[in-house]
Structure 1
């Protein structure tokens, strides 16, 4: 359940709501300390937080709390008694028939179905909101069709004068329409200012106030904000704070334009401007909040706020501007600090990004046949990667039994076991594989891939230390959920590319562990020797919700240097560790790196 997009989206909405609440609190508390323009711009930059859930940030240690919530009640899995590969054992040892696998099968709980249902409801809501938005904005098309271009010379002269006063360089179309009772502005690339057909009731001064107000919308390109607000309410249709923010921004947009007009006109016209707003308020038509346009008229509630702004208007002092800049910076910092934690893709952590340019991309599709998968190879001598299928090579999957390499390393480093003292008594539980139903030491457990042995190691190590270990060695997405199944149930994930890097760090002991611990694990995963080269590695087979996955990771030590490799495959019913091993060995043989004696 840790890969649930919608649940993570809901969690990100909780954080968004917290961020918006903080911003609203700051604005209300410091309202008299900031300018009208700053209040509007604070609301505008808060829109950045709405984009954050879809930005792929990858900051470490920002999502532990949310990972815990997501995994609580998420994937409750158990080892299936079904063997997907003909009940073959992962026998590991020199010259042994090690190309075999156990299948660990997991079914996600009904929580997954609930999540899917919520996701479907969210998509349905978006579809309905989108249709509503399209229907609402059909009004703009009707206005364009009914448009009559203004030809009145006096009005056009006044219009040009207003454009010059505010230095509006954009080409704006001015027209009439019998379909409206209040001025309206729309259009991003080509802005339109549409006036009611009957404007004879307004004096030249009143008309100047209206034109200045609408031209400020055009100059500032407020229509872009309107379209973004429309999109935001569609995507976040279930979040009341987003609806509130949308209404608030539209009101503040009008108030900030009012304030800009007041600074341009003579003070004797301030009262007249307020009267114009009140006139149009009485003519207010009911419009959709999804309309991507700016209307001069407002509801009586919002008109009251606009009139209060006019009555309290005074020139902004230098000190007020400094305070405003400081508050704006604080709010911007709050938003920027919160964005990484809000990011779904950061919490999702389903892919790994790398910037290494020394990569050779190859087409090995013929080796994979019916499987979807990837191959990654690192040449330690040339310091170069060879990759087949970049997308899947950086996609994270549950590591299955391949994690046992690092589980054993932690147990050795923690002193739970040693090379000569690693035997554990069988717990008496009857497992589906006969090889598991006996006492094991590290070497036999690794050879037969006895899952219970490694689960017992984790129990003795303790959850806290395992969590710290995953983070300290940067293993995949570093997630830890169910202590017994975290490397099988889909919470802990790692990409094939990361598998190669982890093996490289392990081989060269970049973890700075005891060399004896490293060597013991190396000995336990040694598979075979052929023509002077040694092959070491670990297979893994896993079935999650009927989807089969196969892994084979390892390295080849030649006379000259070492090659590290990783193969991951997936398929409806046939993918397994044995198949992944066959693919890896075939590619290694073609490249002249290793020819297995087991093939």
Structure 2
């Protein structure tokens, strides 16, 4: 592995965000509170809604599967995204998680037990070094290697999520180029008009309110726009609001 040193322990740097008040209406229409942030890849300008919340850290939940995949491949804990990992045989929240899967499929259906197995194979020491090298949020991996992104102490802000995705897209993370390319390829995608949304969702149930995430990048023409969105959720019924708000935001003329 070629993990390099990063800004260990540093607080997140303040970010100047171009606030677009009209985007707030998309959150109001589905009766939720949240934030949306997108970066212009040419200028580096951050624009979106609710900059105060965009700077606040939350538990990343399954959005961490992107980083977990990177660390797993880089350390050799998994040979490839097509190597099948065991789910463990125990009942799961969703029946589709009750199967052995490769990362390529596991990230698509957000299979928690597969990524917990990957984390255990990585191990506590290598995981801590990997998360720090990626400068991922507060970089706290705690003492439970297969739960820290679900229950804490790991936390990350929308601003930091956008910066992480930006570095993933531009090969600026301290990992092998083939690792970055492979993970970019397995992230889910959905076509919306003349854009392609590359995304990973997350649902943190360890806090009140629960937090719903969707992070990734918008592909339009020759450009890729990193984004992050999070909302307050009461339960799983609120999950569709994440993509609904995202699509509404990127349709706004002031965004892309």
- Which TM-score bucket, shorter chain as reference? 0.7 to 0.9
Q: 2: CA distance between counterparts of 1:533 and 1:419?
A: 29
- Whether 2:253 is the aligned partner of 1:591: answer yes
Q: 2: CA distance between counterparts of 1:399 and 1:578?
A: 18
CA RMSD of aligned residues (A): 2.2
- Whether 2:41 is the aligned partner of 1:383: answer no
Q: Which residue of 1 aligns with 2:156?
A: 494
- Whether 2:84 is the aligned partner of 1:426: answer no
Residue number among 164, 167, 172 corresponding to 1:505 in the alignment = 167
Q: 2: CA distance between counterparts of 1:578 and 1:407?
A: 24
Query: Please, what TM-score do these two structures have when normalized by structure 2?
Result: 0.88
Q: CA deviation at 1:60?
A: 4.3
Q: 1: CA distance between counterparts of 2:149 and 2:109?
A: 17
Deviations 1:103-148 (A, max 9, x none): xxxxxxxxxxxxxxxxxxxxxxxxxxxxxxxxxxxxxxxxxxxxxx
Q: Which of the pair is proportionally richer in helix?
A: 1
Residue number among 347, 358, 367 corresponding to 2:26 in the alignment = 367
For residues 297-308 of structure 1, the aligned pairs below 5 Å read: none
Contact conserved, 1:397 with 1:493, CA < 8 A, in 2? yes
| Structure of higher CA gyration radius | 1
Contact conserved, 1:424 with 1:439, CA < 8 A, in 2? yes
Query: Please, what TM-score do these two structures have when normalized by structure 1?
Result: 0.39
Q: 1: CA distance between counterparts of 2:234 and 2:191?
A: 33
- Whether 2:74 is the aligned partner of 1:416: answer no
Contact conserved, 1:569 with 1:575, CA < 8 A, in 2? no
For residues 114-153 of structure 1, the aligned pairs below 5 Å read: none
Q: CA deviation at 1:583?
A: 0.8
- Farther-moved stretch of structure 1 (435-444 vs 505-514): 505-514
- Whether 2:129 is the aligned partner of 1:471: answer no
Q: 1:387 to 1:573 in 2, by over 3 A?
A: same
Q: 2: CA distance between counterparts of 1:497 and 1:574?
A: 25
- Whether 2:75 is the aligned partner of 1:403: answer no
Q: Which of the pair is proportionally richer in strand?
A: 2
Q: CA deviation at 1:442?
A: 0.8
Q: CA deviation at 1:573?
A: 4.5
For residues 511-550 of structure 1, the aligned pairs below 5 Å read: 511-531=173-193, 533-550=195-212
Q: CA deviation at 1:572?
A: 4.2
Q: CA deviation at 1:547?
A: 2.2
Deviations 1:255-293 (A, max 9, x none): xxxxxxxxxxxxxxxxxxxxxxxxxxxxxxxxxxxxxxx
Q: 1:387 to 1:543 in 2, by over 3 A?
A: same
Q: Which structure is higher in RCO with an 8 Å CA cutoff and minimum separation 6?
A: 2
Q: 2: CA distance between counterparts of 1:571 and 1:468?
A: 32
Deviating beyond 6 angstroms after TM superposition, the runs of 4 or more aligned structure 1 residues are: none
Contact conserved, 1:551 with 1:576, CA < 8 A, in 2? no
SS of corresponding position for 1:552 = strand
Residue number among 214, 225, 229 corresponding to 1:552 in the alignment = 214
Structure 2 unaligned blocks of 5 or more: 1-6
